[in-house]
Structure formats: C-alpha cells, structure tokens
Copies of this chain bind each other. A is one copy, B any other.
Amino acid sequence: MWGMDEFDRYRAAMNEKLLGSGHLGIKRFFALDTQAYEDGALDKKTKELLGLVASTVLRCDDCITYHIKQCASVGVNRAEFLDAFNVALVVGGSITIPHLRRGIDRVDQLLESGVAKDQNLREPHEH
C-alpha cells in the first residue's frame, strides 16, 4: 500500500491532468463532488461518514483513504470510524474486509500522526 504522501502527490498530479484538460463536464463533476460534502441539511461530518461508507461498500481504497482523511479533519474518532466500518461490513459483507484492514491502518496512521483534528484540509474535494 502506498504511503499517504505518495497517494496525495499522485492524486494531485493526475487531478491536474484531468482538470487541466479543459473538459467542462469533468471539471463540473469535480465541483459537484466537492459541494456534496459541504454543510447543508446534513453537516459535513455526517456527509463525510456517508462518503466513507459508500466508498467502503463499493470497495475503492483510494476513495476510502480520501474520506478517512476528511473524516479525521472534522474530528471523527476511532470508535466512530469502527462503527461506520461495521455498518459497511454488515451491508457489504466479508468482501469489504480487506478494505477495512487497509482502512484501519490508514486511520491509525492519521490518528497517531496527531494531525488529524487540527489539520484543515482546504484543497478541493476530489477522491
């Protein structure tokens, strides 16, 4: 599994390629994606948890990593991560387990680095 920094760099470079291509549809989709997690009728924390569980049952490691970072940045704690993982596990079945293993690894990397709650991720929201 890639380190978090490596993941961030590759994501940023390729997002730039996609967004820099001038394709209006792709650009607008990325904007919609960012907006979907902003405070609204539901708050950002709930929405990021929704994004995390959706990513887990659809089994996309990069999306899971992204939403774990976002969740941590708005104060989701370890017990809450585990509760969200458990819903994903029950809905999505044992096929999600390898993603939970990599997920808890990411969670602990973030929580141990201490940056979690304090870090204010200002970058646009793109998986």
Interface positions of A (Cβ within 8 A of B) = 10-11, 14-15, 17-18, 21, 23-26, 28-29, 32-33, 35-37, 40-42, 46-47, 49-51, 53-55, 57-63, 77-80, 82-98, 100-102, 104-105, 108, 126-127
> Contact partner of A23 among B23, B60, B86, B92, CB < 8 A?
B86
- Chain B hits for A83, CB < 8 A: 23, 40-42, 47
A41 and B100 form a contact (CB under 8 A): no
- Chain B hits for A55, CB < 8 A: 91, 95
Once the chains are docked, how many angstroms separate the CA of A37 from the CA of B25? 10
- Chain B hits for A54, CB < 8 A: 53-54, 57, 87-88, 91-92, 95
A89 and B93 form a contact (CB under 8 A): yes
Measured between C-beta atoms, what is the minimum distance from A86 to chain B in Å? 4
In this complex, which of A29, A85, A86 has the most chain B Cβ atoms within 10 angstroms of its Cβ? Answer: A86
A104 and B17 form a contact (CB under 8 A): yes
Measured between C-beta atoms, what is the minimum distance from A57 to chain B in Å? 5
A29 and B94 form a contact (CB under 8 A): yes
Once the chains are docked, how many angstroms separate the CA of A14 from the CA of B97? 10
Measured between C-beta atoms, what is the minimum distance from A11 to chain B in Å? 7
A-B contact pairs, 6 of them (CB 8 A): A14-B102, A18-B101, A28-B32, A40-B79, A54-B57, A98-B127
